[in-house]
Structure 1
Amino acid sequence: MVKKLLGGTFTHYSNEKLKVMRNEKEIKKIVLLGASFTTRNLGVWALTSGAITSVLHSNPNVQVKLVDYHTEPLNYEIRHRTGRCYVQLINLRFSKKIWLPNNIALLILKALIIRAVPFQTIRSKFIARNFWLKQIKQADFVGSIAGGDSFSDIYGIARLIYVSLPQILTHLVGNNLVILPQTIGPFKSSLSKFIAFSILKRARKIYSRDRDSLKVVKDLLKGDNRNMEFCYDMAFVLEPILKSNRIPEWLLKSDKRIPIIGFNISGLLYMGGYTRQNMFGLKDDYRKIIHDLIKYMVEVHNAKIMLVPHVLGSVDNSESDVAACIEIYRQTKDELKEHLYVIEDEYDQHELKALIGYSDFFIGSRMHACIAALSQCIPAVGLAYSRKFRGVFESIGMEKTVIDLRTQNGKSVIATVNKIFQHRIEIKSQLEQKIPDARTAVLDLFNS
């Protein structure tokens, strides 16, 4: 089955400066774990696209495969500047149906049994007979993204186990694992720390997109930081691509003298987290903060507000940003609605980044929505519910534009946003100096 993404477009760069160490063989097969286009979270799509872009920049002829959970295998058609290629999804199952041949628990059990066989040649033959084990074992490079921030127990121990099992399987089949740039931790429970320690101590290389995560790893590994390194979030190299007929008419006709503020509303925060009881410990009511911010920016700055979802889904999906944006619009007073626009059509990660590019200023509760703005040198405020925001923003010198909703009340949020908005020209200039270096570092990641 070949599946075209909504926009169907990825970009990869030619590689005139490819550097291959004299005594190292060129990487030809790369497997990415925890990278997917099956989720409705465009942040994960952006990370996956960024990783593929980085891979193809350094290795134009490489074969990339995604290994992640899904009910069926898929082939994604990817268009790039010099042609087309396909990225295959090798699907695992996380299911009570233990008898399924690609059930992750069954594969781990088989890998454990094979690992107990004393002879290497026999072990290799057993692995070669299993399609899923063979894909991981025969890869020249296995890298884990873990959805960007799921290698943690912030979303619960079940999520951590979910993303950790394929990484454990990689070790059991005898291949090296590289932790690609992501947020690592926090790990609150003893079980979480044990799982993280077991994976990290065996990793060939550990990249983090923030300094705090490097400290978490260093503490877990008792000070051993030999294989640790910082690298920017891979979504910084996502290309904005949008056909003219996909641009909303109101945006094309917009008065350039009136500022456009892109505003990403998180459906997850809107519903109170997975527990629906202020799971992340926000100091004030998120819904009220959003309404008050919209009212303030319209009345004080005469701004147009573009509500930008970054997690797709129907109104029946409570975590959907689309549903939250629509609800916010419905509840907004009529006199403000003429300044308020909702992006309701489905756009892929490239298209949505291009739409965000029309903003003069951005406010977001989903970090990769903010990265879509920042990477285009658009001043952005991150309405944070975890430390991942500060770490990523800090990497490009923007830590002062992060507002921690766990510590600031609604009035403080509005005052801080207003202050940042007034300095947006200066901030844009700072981003224009920082972003090229971030992009270059990500594109060269697979050269290292």
Structure 2
Amino acid sequence: MRQEMTSFLLYGNGPVSNRGCEAIVLGTKRILEREFGPVSITLASFGCDAGTGPSGQSPAGLSGDVRPVRLPFGPPRFSPAWARRRLYALLGRSGGPPGTGFLKVFDTCLAGARAGLSVGGDGYAIDWGHAVVDRLMLMDRRCREAGIPAVVWGASVGPFDREPGFEARVAEHLRRLELVVVREPRSFGYLRRLGVERNLVLVPDPAFALEPETGTLPEDCARLLERGCIGLNLSPLMARAATGGDLRRWQEVAVEMVRRLLAAGSPASSTPGKKRRTLQPPGGLSNRSAGVLLVPHVISPDRHAGTDDEVLLRTVRDRLDERARALTAVLPRELGAARLRDCIGRTRFFIGARTHATIAALAAGVPTISLAYSRKAWGINELVYGHHDWVLAPAELGAGTLAARAAELIEREAEIRARLRPKALALCEHAHDAARFLKVMLSGAATATGRRTAPDREGRGQRAEIGRSLATT
């Protein structure tokens, strides 16, 4: 007899053409299935293609057990909410009050859900404007009003300390929720300082639980992976941090980055008196031929130059000379998150801007440099490495600095791999602990009195156990 499925609502995520969003859904499904058995998921996403993904597959690479629902991203044209957002834009303020028209669609997703999981990743931050946070909080409240526990799932949160009023409102909202699962220690410590403790746990990003999927690749990509190449993910969004929003200038910087990574005589440092290093460690990248594999991790259906990694990376490769082009290749845009996890995990070293591209590398034990354009990179590196030495801040996003740090990464390959491999294995396993916390919370929420006495004691014990484990692995 077939086991009955447990239904969950996932919301707040972006489109699956963002392979990080896809990785979150795939990893979450695997995490839930281990604890709850067969699950059915309603995926209510802004910008999600309701029906098929960008290459014809069902969203998140799944079939009938995931039901995609597209939430309208903005208010109807010429509506009052639309006018308010236009006013905010004219005043030079990001976001503006969130529209509520999407709630009519969202409400149709609530029936039968055991819990609502807000899976936006970094949605609870003002990097993308206040309206994004307000929209997530609206959906959290909508779940709770319908009697469905609301859970923040695998998030980075804040900081909002420059806006004390907004910070207090977010903290009060999070304290009311049934469970808040953060993915890195900076968010964990920040929320504890705000008094979010009773319902707060630290668990690695659900993408750590994503299973890699193999398949055939274009010959040039396969050849680079066989040789032990550097994987490189660059994002158009980095133009905001690196070149003040000048995308053309950022493309020029990116071209020079690839050239310097390919060059066999780049100095690790321009500091006088220091030894020059190359990108070839002893026994390492032989004859300068290992090359650089360019890895798009976010694409857009309309190939928008401001958001599509592949458009940027192909532009970069086209601007290289013939010899450099022969040592590079661009992974196909059609590859989903599981395929990309496999390819990234087969690189010898990885440098990435997109958070979940770097998570794919770190989870496979690949020595990785994170190119940061938001605070989440620091927190995730602290979780994995125990420090943020391998994070490049926006002010450091230059071709020379990147080549120098890459040379250091390569030189220290054996040391980094020895430390990273067991940590990565432990984090991939710990990602599944989120479902344990969720199950404890749901068992408490189901009690007649609503007081989670015994389950709370169990949950506190599990929090302590996992906290110690994360600290010592």
- Please state which band the TM-score falls in when normalised by the shorter chain: 0.7 to 0.9
Give unpaired runs (5+ residues) of structure 2.
53-57, 81-97, 265-278, 280-287, 438-473
The residue identity in structure 1 corresponding to 2:426 is D
Conservation of the 8 A alpha-carbon contact between 1:177 and 1:204:
yes
Q: Which piece of structure 1 moves more, 382-391 or 158-167? A: 158-167
1:164 counterpart (120, 137, 143): 137
2:188 corresponds in structure 1 to: 214
User: For 1:124-135, what aligned pairs fall within 5 Å after superposition?
Assistant: 132-133=106-107, 135=109
User: For 1:209-288, what aligned pairs fall within 5 Å after superposition?
Assistant: 209-220=183-194, 223-244=195-216, 247-254=217-224, 256=226, 258-270=227-239, 272=240, 278=244, 286-287=250-251
The residue identity in structure 1 corresponding to 2:143 is T
Q: Deviations over 1:411-439 (max 9, x none)?
A: 43332221112112221222221122111
Conservation of the 8 A alpha-carbon contact between 2:5 and 2:37:
no
- Give the superposition deviation at 1:249: 0.9
SS of the residue corresponding to residue 41 of structure 2 reads: strand
User: For 1:229-378, what aligned pairs fall within 5 Å after superposition?
Assistant: 229-244=201-216, 247-254=217-224, 256=226, 258-270=227-239, 272=240, 278=244, 286-287=250-251, 289-300=253-264, 301=279, 302=288, 303-313=290-300, 314-378=302-366
- Give the superposition deviation at 1:236: 0.8
Q: Deviations over 1:106-138 (max 9, x none)?
A: 576xxxxxxxxxxxxxxxxxxxxx985364264
The residue identity in structure 1 corresponding to 2:412 is H
Distance in 1 (alpha carbons) for counterparts of 2:294 and 2:33: 33
- Give the superposition deviation at 1:177: 1.2
Give unpaired runs (5+ residues) of structure 1.
1-14, 16-25, 109-129
- Give the superposition deviation at 1:288: 5.1
Conservation of the 8 A alpha-carbon contact between 2:157 and 2:182:
yes
Distance in 1 (alpha carbons) for counterparts of 2:190 and 2:5: 30
Q: 1:78 to 1:381 in 2, by over 3 A?
A: closer
User: For 1:78-97, what aligned pairs fall within 5 Å after superposition?
Assistant: 85-97=64-76
Q: 1:235 to 1:310 in 2, by over 3 A?
A: same
Q: Deviations over 1:30-65 (max 9, x none)?
A: 1112235x3421111111111111111212223222
The residue identity in structure 1 corresponding to 2:9 is V
- Give the superposition deviation at 1:78: 7.5
Q: How many residues align?
A: 384
Q: 1:421 to 1:286 in 2, by over 3 A?
A: farther
SS of the residue corresponding to residue 424 of structure 2 reads: helix
Identity %: 22
Using structure 2 for the length normalisation, give the TM-score.
0.72
Q: Any runs of at least 4 consecutive aligned residues in structure 1 with deviations exceeding 6 A, and if so which?
A: 77-80
2:6 counterpart (28, 32, 41): 28
User: For 1:389-404, what aligned pairs fall within 5 Å after superposition?
Assistant: 389-397=377-385, 399-404=387-392
Distance in 2 (alpha carbons) for counterparts of 1:252 and 1:67: 36
Q: Greater share of helix residues, 1 or 2? A: 2
Q: How much is the aligned-residue C-alpha RMSD, in angstroms?
A: 3.2
Distance in 1 (alpha carbons) for counterparts of 2:23 and 2:315: 26
Distance in 2 (alpha carbons) for counterparts of 1:49 and 1:360: 25
Q: 1:142 to 1:227 in 2, by over 3 A?
A: same
Conservation of the 8 A alpha-carbon contact between 1:107 and 1:169:
no
SS of the residue corresponding to residue 181 of structure 1 reads: strand
User: For 1:8-27, what aligned pairs fall within 5 Å after superposition?
Assistant: none
1:105 counterpart (76, 96, 100): 100
Conservation of the 8 A alpha-carbon contact between 2:46 and 2:71:
yes
Report whether the alignment pairs 1:412 with 2:401. Answer: yes
1:426 counterpart (415, 423, 426): 415
The residue identity in structure 2 corresponding to 1:278 is G
1:445 corresponds in structure 2 to: 434
Q: 1:320 to 1:255 in 2, by over 3 A?
A: closer
SS of the residue corresponding to residue 154 of structure 1 reads: helix
Q: 1:106 to 1:295 in 2, by over 3 A?
A: closer
Q: Deviations over 1:348-399 (max 9, x none)?
A: 1111222223311111011111111111111111011222112112212263
